[in-house]
Amino acid sequence: MGDSTCLPEQGGGWLYLASWQDACSRKIVGWDLRATMPEDLVSEALCRALVVRQPPAGLVGYSDQGSQYTATRFRDLLVKHGATQSMSRRGNCYDNAQAESFWSRLKTELLDGGSFPGLEEVRLELAHYMAYYNGERRHSALGYDSPNHFETYFQPTSEKCPA
């Protein structure tokens, strides 16, 4: 599940963050941060997720209908990896509620109404936050497990005990 958001920067500017989240475990598997919102922001975040996950063909890449997700480079990337594109209904934020919830938590827990000092500081803060979010932050939807623990516990038996 992919989405992007804007983060306030001190001095009045914005930083742009894109992430890919495993819809089942809620684990953030890829993200990218930029000072601008180029077309390839979401593609780079997806590339990072694909390197981490190495999914077999059949992956469903779900997002809203933002221009970055309808761009040729992004669609070509999905095809190259045997993924199918799925998009929310136009203008319906409830279709992407899980991603929106993540942004809400991130902004509340990191910013608390403030702003970030600059790109490199934010990049470091986000790396720490993603490690916390995936490794420690508990989710009611996961039976109060963290995404990492949930994935370990619910990993198919054949992967835990290869023949």
Q: Which helix (H) or strand (E) holds 151?
A: helix 147-153
- The pLDDT assigned to 161 comes to 42
Q: What top-level class would CATH report for the domain 2-152?
A: alpha beta
Which of 15, 19, 4 shows the shortest CA–CA distance to 130? 19
- The Cβ-side half-sphere exposure at 62, using a 13 Å CA radius, reads 14
Domain edges within the chain = 2-152
pLDDT by residue, tens only, the chain of 163 residues: 899 999 999 999 999 999 999 999 999 999 999 999 988 999 999 999 999 999 888 889 888 888 888 899 999 999 999 998 887 878 776 778 888 899 999 999 998 888 888 899 999 999 999 999 999 999 999 999 999 999 998 866 545 444 4
φ and ψ at 14, to 5 degrees? -130, 150
What pTM, to 2 d.p., does this model score? 0.88
